[in-house]
């Protein structure tokens, strides 16, 4: 029995099995690591003054919504209560610019911004995301005209004392053999 355990072929085979099992474990958990890294950039973004975080969530899966079925999709949002004007909130998140895609250092993910009165909470078995009342998306740039000024009519009643809003990122990445 000891000859078998100390046999060089047996040791090489065991090391090979350990490497294979470790590789499979890494590949199958990498999507979650990439998803959490993507979500963290929104979670780490500072909260505006006069604003309280109500909820922050990250959901991911394959496939989700209208994004290609060959992608692992990540949805991350934060829901806030604030007394700032809608103009101030829009300007605040405009300063953030684009967020990085889930895999890599390339920025290109446009934040979506939904205000109370024009947001629907959509619940699917994979998780929750937000849309506007008409079922569409509200990317940050939709609040600006061609001259880069905020479209005030888009804001509706802007005199509310305290209201809720949601900032959301949605993106996807190829999940097959996701090795860096």
pLDDT in tens, 139-169: 999 999 999 999 877 666 666 689 999 999 9
Query: Would you say residue 22 lies in a domain?
Result: no
What does pLDDT average to over the chain? 83
String of DSSP letters for 109-132: EPPEEEETTS-EEEEETTEEEEE-
Q: Which of 104, 172, 112 is nearest to 142 (CA)?
A: 112
Query: Would you say residue 26 lies in a domain?
Result: no
Query: Would you say residue 66 lies in a domain?
Result: yes
- How many domains would you assign to the chain? 1
Query: Would you say residue 54 lies in a domain?
Result: yes
Query: Would you say residue 115 lies in a domain?
Result: yes
Query: Would you say residue 80 lies in a domain?
Result: yes
Burial string for 65-92 (b: 16+ CB within 10 Å, else e) reads: eebeeebbbbbbbbbbebebebebbbeb
Query: Would you say residue 97 lies in a domain?
Result: yes
Residue 39 has pLDDT above 50, yes or no: yes
Query: Would you say residue 165 lies in a domain?
Result: yes
**What is the residue range of 60's domain?**
31-174
What is the model's pLDDT at position 180?
Answer: 46
Q: Which tokens hold the place of 89?
A: 């909130």
């Amino acid at each position: 029995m000891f000859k078998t355990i100390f046999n060089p072929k047996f040791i090489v085979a065991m090391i090979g099995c350990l490497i294979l099992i470790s590789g499979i474990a890494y590949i199958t958990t990498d999507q979650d690591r990439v998803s959490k890294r993507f979500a963290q950039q929104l979670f780490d973004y500072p909260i505006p003054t006069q604003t309280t975080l109500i909820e922050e969530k990250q959901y991911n899966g394959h496939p989700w919504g209208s994004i290609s079925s060959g992608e692992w999709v990540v949805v991350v949002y934060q829901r806030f209560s604030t007394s700032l004007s809608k103009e101030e909130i829009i300007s605040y998140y405009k300063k953030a610019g684009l967020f990085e895609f889930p895999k890599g250092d390339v920025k290109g993910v446009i934040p979506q911004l939904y205000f109370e009165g024009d947001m629907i909470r959509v619940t699917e078995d994979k998780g929750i995301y937000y849309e506007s009342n008409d079922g569409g998306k509200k990317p940050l740039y939709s609040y600006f005209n061609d001259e880069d000024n905020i479209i005030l009519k888009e804001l509706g009643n802007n005199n509310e004392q305290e209201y809720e809003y949601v900032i959301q990122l949605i993106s996807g990445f190829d999940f097959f053999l996701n090795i860096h």
